Amino acid sequence: MLTRRFGAFTAVDSVSFYVRAGEIFGLIGPNGAGKTTLVKMLTTMLPPSSGQGLVAGFDIAKQPAQVRKRIGYVPQLLSADRELTGYENLLLSSRLYLIPAAEREKKIELALNMMGLTEVRDRLARDYSGGMLRRLEIAQSTMHQPAILFLDEPTVGLDPDGRNTVWDHVRSLRQQTGAAIVMTTHYMDEAEELCDRVAVMHNARFAAIGTPKELCALVGPQATLDDVFVALTGHEVKKGDEHDAGRPSLNR
Kindly indicate the confidence band of residue 78, based on its pLDDT and cuts at 50, 70 and 90: confident
Exposure letters 202-214 (e unless 16+ CB within 10 A, then b): bebbbbbbeebee
Is 227 inside a domain boundary?
Answer: yes
Torsion from C-alpha of 73, 75, 81, 84, nearest 10 degrees: 50
In this predicted model, what pLDDT tens digit does every residue of 158-191 receive, in sequence order?
888 888 888 988 888 888 888 999 999 999 999 9
Beta carbons of 87 and 122 less than 8 angstroms apart: yes
What do you get for the CA distance between the two ends of the chain, in Å? 39
User: What percentage of the chain reaches a pLDDT higher than 70?
Assistant: 94
Q: What is the pLDDT of residue 239?
A: 61
Beta carbons of 70 and 146 less than 8 angstroms apart: yes
- Computed over every residue of the chain, the mean pLDDT equals 90
Is 34 inside a domain boundary?
Answer: yes
In this predicted model, what pLDDT tens digit does every residue of 194-207 receive, in sequence order?
999 999 999 999 99
- Length of the chain counted residue by residue: 252
Is 120 inside a domain boundary?
Answer: yes
Is 250 inside a domain boundary?
Answer: no
Nearest to 243 by CA among 164, 178, 176, 155: 155
SS3 32: coil
Nearest to 149 by CA among 77, 79, 76, 71: 71
Is 233 inside a domain boundary?
Answer: yes
Q: Are strands 180-184 and 197-202 parallel, antiparallel or unpaired?
A: unpaired
Q: What is the pLDDT of residue 250?
A: 40
Range of the domain at 160: 2-16+23-243
CATH code of the domain covering residue 217: 3.40.50.300
Per the structure, how many domains does the chain have?
Answer: 1
Kindly indicate the confidence band of residue 13, based on its pLDDT and cuts at 50, 70 and 90: very high
DSSP state at residue 237: P
Is 90 inside a domain boundary?
Answer: yes
Q: Angle of helix 101-114 relative to helix 86-96, nearest 10 degrees? A: 130
Predicted structure pTM score: 0.88
Exposure letters 170-199 (e unless 16+ CB within 10 A, then b): beebbeebebbbbbbbbbbebbbebbbbbb
Q: What is the pLDDT of residue 233?
A: 94
Nearest to 110 by CA among 94, 129, 132: 94
